[in-house]
Amino acid sequence: MAAICGIVAADLMQFGQSDPDTEAAPRPGRFGRFYLQELINRGGVSEVWTASDPEGRVFALRRMWDNRLRNFAERKRFFRGCEVLSQIHHNEYVVNYVEHGKIQGVPYLLMEYVAGSNLKLLLSRGDQVLAENVAQIIIDMALGLEQVHDSGFIHLDFKPENVLVTPNANVRLIDFDLARPRPEQPRRLPGNPGTPAYMSPERLQHLEVDQRADIFALGVTAYEVLAGAKPFPGDSPDEILRKQLGRELTPPRQLNPEIPPALEKVILKCLEPDMANRYPYMSVVVRDLQAALYV
């Protein structure tokens, strides 16, 4: 499987890019009872640090930017992600929750520190960890989403940036700010934030959604990992949606003949534009992935 694809500790999460003109470069120092040691990542809403407590234990600490504190929608999403993570973190493939709250009015989330890189960085660098463990990483991503769904939630922001991979190829799902309770029946979402390249057709059309939106996002991510390109590239949500609905999709084996035919079949079923033709549950995806990859 090594032919299918083909940093550590410094890059824990990817939240996008911040504007250097609006925030001074942060420095290590005290934050409540924690000491912020090393800045792991900066984003438009928050920053992530390695942080130690008075007992010397090391964590990952995410806190909101001061200039975002009055954005109530972002504060609400931040705290919702904390609450969701607090309910699903006792799982092998989800980053472990420790606590959340406010320190001097600043929202923060404390998590386990896991040395690793997100999947987007591994892809961009052609990292050997990915090349040597791609089959297990794909299965573990599916297992992680299965655990999220079994815990009563849908992720709704599944993409390579939100998959953390350790040097030993262990997978952790991160960033639950957009997560919602898993509905018993498909339902419309209030608002529609997300990354269009990984959003399902029903999401891009603002229709009812359920866990099958995450299954579509897994298909996009697996396709990208294996074929080295996105299945529905586009410069706008409308262009992406047009390609999805028009089935303008190059079969991944045309881009990488090393992909097993059975694995291609699983990916294409995840990417069905009509959610009724997609896999219904992540447990079925896991079963077929394991069969296709002989795991």
- What is the arithmetic mean of pLDDT over 74-103? 93
pLDDT at 10: 34
Domains of the chain in sequence order = 7-112 (3.30.200.20), 117-292 (1.10.510.10)
- What is the arithmetic mean of pLDDT over 116-136? 93
Percent of the chain with pLDDT strictly greater than 90: 77
Do residues 85 and 94 touch, judged by C-beta distance below 8 A?
Answer: yes
Q: Is the confidence at residue 22, as pLDDT, over 70?
A: no
Assigned token pair, 238: 């409308």
Return the closest-CA partner of residue 118 out of 270, 5, 10. 10
Neighbours of 54 (CB within 10 A): 8
The pairs formed by 260-269 with CB atoms below 8 angstroms and a separation of 24 or more are 260/292, 260/293, 262/288, 262/291, 262/292, 263/226, 263/289, 263/292, 263/293, 265/292, 266/292, 267/219, 267/222, 267/223, 267/226, 268/219, 269/219
pTM value is 0.88
- Residue 25 banded pLDDT, cuts 50, 70, 90: low
Q: Is the confidence at residue 111, as pLDDT, over 90?
A: yes
pLDDT at 12: 37
Q: Is the confidence at residue 215, as pLDDT, over 80?
A: yes
Q: Is the confidence at residue 15, as pLDDT, over 70?
A: no
- Residue 14 banded pLDDT, cuts 50, 70, 90: very low
- What is the arithmetic mean of pLDDT over 156-174? 95
